[in-house]
Amino acid sequence: MAGKHKQDDPLAALLETVPKAKLVDLLVHVSASRPAVRRECLDYLNRHTALSPSRKKQSEGERLLALWAELAPDLDELDTYGGGDYDADFRVSSLLHEIAQALSRKKIDTGYRQKLLDNTLPYIENGNAGLDDDLCDVAYATCYNDDDWRALAKSLETMRGDWKLDHARRIYCRLGDREKYLELRQRKLATGADYHDLADFYCKAGEKQKAMEVAETGLLKGKGRMDDLRQFVAKRVKSAGNRERYLALQFDQAIDPLTCDKYKAFRKLCTAAEWKHYEAKILARLDNAWETEQLRIRMHRKEHEEAVDVLIRSRYPLYAVDLHLKLTRVLHPILTRPDGPIMA
C-alpha cells in the first residue's frame, strides 16, 4: 500500500527527476529552521540506511543538537518568566530526559557532549526555569570520564547558590578529591544535614573519632534538617551501650516535629519504665504539633474528650481521611449530647 501511495504522489514523481545534489539542498533548506524536521530526517537515516560507525555517531550527535534546538524556545521562555504552562513544562522536561537518556548510553562524541553542556550550564546557573533536576541530569550525562566530571564541578562551584555548590561538592567527593570536598563543605555548615554529610564523609574515610566530633558539633549548632544527624549519633551511642543517650536522641527525633507515627514509634522503643519517664514530656509538647497530629494522638490514646477539645479549638477544618469514620463513630455522641462541649 505504501508503495502505491508513493507512485501516486506527484511530489514523489517530481523528486524522482531531481539530481541527488538538489535533493540534498532541499532537505538541508527545509530542515535548517525546523529542528523537529531535522531530527526526523536524522532518525530516518539511522533507521533506513547503513551508516558507517563514525557517521552513525555523528548522526546521533546531530540528532541531540536538533532535540536541544527544538526545546530551546520553550526553555528560554520558562527561564525568562520563572516557569510556564504545564504543556510547555512537560514538553521541555520530556525532551531533556530524552537527551539525557541518549547521552547515558556513552556513544556521543566529545564535541557534541561539550556543546550540550555549554547549552545547559547557563540555565542551571540561572535556576529560573523550574527544571533544575532535568537540566542537571543532562549535565551529568555529558560526563564520560573523570576529566569531564572535574570540569563540570569547576563550573558549578563558580555559580551562586547552595544547590550548585552541593552538586560540585558531591562530584569532588565522588572523584576522591578530599581537599576540594572539604574546601567546599566548609563553606556551608549550617543545617543538621550539612554536618551529617561531613560526619558521614569522615566515617567512610575510616576517621570514626573525627566523624563523631563533627556530628556532636552539629547537634549543638545545626539549625533544621536534623533527622539524619541524630540517627547517625544514635546508632553509634546505642552500639556503645549508652541507652540513656540513645533514648534522649530518639525523643528529640520524635518531637521534631511531633506526629502520631513518631509518637507510636518512640513508644515502641521504650520499656514500661522508660515510657513512664518520657510520656509526660511528650504530652507537654503536644500543643506544638499540628492540630491534625494532636487529634490523631488523642484518638490513639482513646482520649476522646481531649480530641473534641482539639476540634473545637481548631481554626481550620481538619481533613484527616483516616480519622473520618472514627470521628463519626466515637466523637459524634460526645459532640451532640445535651451536656456535651457544643451545648455547654
190 within a domain of the structure (yes/no): no
| 183 found inside a domain | no
Query: Rounded mean pLDDT of the chain?
Result: 87
Average pLDDT over residues 266-289: 96
What integer pLDDT is reported at residue 319 of this predicted model? 55
Q: Looking at the domain assignment, is residue 5 inside a domain? A: no
Q: What is the pTM of this model?
A: 0.77
Q: Is residue 342 over pLDDT 70?
A: no
Tens digits of residue pLDDT in 44-85: 777 777 777 888 888 888 889 989 999 999 999 999 999 888
Q: For the chain, what is the domain count? A: 1
Please give the residue range of the domain that contains residue 79: 18-142
C-alpha cell at 318: 481538619
259 lies in a domain? no
Q: Which position has the grid cell 570520564?
A: 145
pLDDT(288) > 50: yes
147 lies in a domain? no
In a domain, 97, yes or no: yes
**Within a domain: residue 124?**
yes
User: What integer is the mean pLDDT of 236-253?
Assistant: 97
Write the DSSP symbol of residue 64.
H
Sign of CA dihedral 280, 284, 286, 288: negative
Residue-level pLDDT at 147: 97
Compute the average pLDDT of residues 203-213.
Answer: 97
Average pLDDT over residues 294-322: 78
Q: How far apart, in whole angstroms, are the C-alpha atoms of residue 274 and residue 280? A: 11
Is 39 domain-assigned? yes
